[in-house]
Structure 1
């Protein structure tokens, strides 16, 4: 991409970077000249094959592990993180009404999708306090939300609740708090609808499900990881989006709502 995003030599940390949106985001930021640190949980996937990428394992549910992740990122990739892309997340594949959901499922989804982002943002902001003015000038947090956070998602209330908390709780709160540390710091979210990622592959093989999922979407297509990665890069860019703050940007093909699932007999 020939357009200058102002991200050359900027340290970007991407969580959930081993596949799907995360991996595509890592590759794009690398193309834009950023210094990229890529977090993964259990499997690194293609990350070791990418040159100039610092790949670090960390369980985002673990306070000590997250603090160590930010320290190692700073030590191994030229200084403190300027841009934090909170991309990781789990979507339990089994359908489960709230009335029937196991507490263990609810707690694990909350731990990964909500407590993890809290720990990451806390460690990131603490590191930002002692960072240079140049690092602070480019400071940005980008959450990956979801149409589930806007419209809800029957059978996946745990996932919907976490995404809504990021989009409508964390973003507007942190956009007011980050400026106390970095006066030009920004916080936004990019919120996709269905994306053709490995996590969604099995679900998207059901043509009837896809038709129903896209019924209120004018563009009538499932997004690619690249569609989302490009919007992440745009919102993280201090050149293109330097005055965009506290926004939840839907990247969902114009989705207007959900159709109800057929009632159980």
Structure 2
């Protein structure tokens, strides 16, 4: 028996699509027959080489830019967006406890990782109100969360705060609000732990750090982008997950918490 995800010709917008998880998610949805619009901001990367993928540039911190992103996606990809995958995000590499964190860093992280998703969801839901029924029937939002949002992350409180907001505050609010725009609409979060992406490459070169990071993880491995992308596709599928909404799915190998690092160490 072949497995039909029900995503053929469904329009999927993936933000931050040039990065490790984003790029793999684009490829996964294309393999499932979806129409994919891939968002990027400053670096288009490998997206330029993917056939059948519409690429659109936008600064998620800017209201007009986000509104134009949704309009351009609909115009270039033959109809409004049905599935929104909010994948973009920044993780400042400097180790900055809250007591020492610069206000500019805090504000910029929130602008990208939290205000950006707010603007995207708002523009998406406004467009969804006027979308045809087939678009509404497969409508859903998927946030990419993080174990940082569940357990916190010393030295990266800005990132952790944003991910918690997506995983709990926004997911649980929007799963009740989306149905006013699309009766079958759903909202969920897929939350990975450490993933071997370009953003995490330098950090994961530290073997001692990786050992500590995996200390409470029964599945003793760092995830690869495909581990996350496949779960996003499963959650997005109206066939496989059509009655799943308001869920925060942890893709973390069973992680149970964090080991505390000695003062002064990451």
The residue number in structure 2 matching 1:122 is 122
Residues 139-150 of structure 1: matches in 2 within 5 Å? 139-150=139-150
Equivalent residues in 2 for 1:54-203, closer than 5 Å: 54-203=54-203
1: CA distance between counterparts of 2:159 and 2:19? 19
Q: CA deviation at 1:3?
A: 1.7
Q: Aligned partners of 1:5, 1:96: CA distance in 2, in Å?
A: 42
- Indicate whether 1:241 and 2:241 are aligned: yes
SS in 1 for 2:12: strand
How far, CA to CA, are the matches of 2:184 and 2:69 in structure 1? 24
Aligned to 2:11: 11
Query: Is the partner of 1:189 in helix, strand or coil?
Result: strand
Q: Show structure 2 runs of 5+ residues with no match.
A: none
Cα displacement (A) at 1:264: 3.2
1:263 CA displacement: 1.9
Name structure 1 gaps, 5 residues minimum.
none
Distance 2:144 2:31 in 1: 21
1:3 and 1:27 map into 2 onto residues whose CA distance is: 18
**How far off its partner does 1:202 sit?**
0.1
Cα-to-partner distance string for 1:111-160 (whole Å, 9 max, x where unaligned)? 00000000000000000000000000000000000000000000000000
Secondary structure of residue in 2 paired with 1:12: strand
Alignment of 1:208-223 (within 5 A): 208-223=208-223
SS in 1 for 2:94: coil
CA RMSD, Structure 1 to Structure 2 (Å): 1.0
Report the alpha carbon displacement of residue 48 of structure 1 after superposing the two structures with TM.
1.1
Q: Deviation above 6 Å: which 4+ runs of structure 1?
A: none
What is the CA–CA distance in structure 2 between the aligned matches of 1:196 and 1:79, rounded to whole Å?
34
Q: Secondary structure at the match of 2:176?
A: helix
Alpha-carbon distance between aligned partners in 2 of 1:168 and 1:49, rounded to the nearest angstrom: 36
Matches of 1:223 and 1:144, distance apart in 2: 14
Matches of 1:51 and 1:23 in 2, distance apart?
13
* Residue number in structure 2 paired with 1:25: 25
The one-character-per-residue Cα deviations of 1:63-106 (angstroms, maximum 9, x if unpaired) are: 00000000000000010000000000000000000000000000
Q: CA deviation at 1:174?
A: 0.1
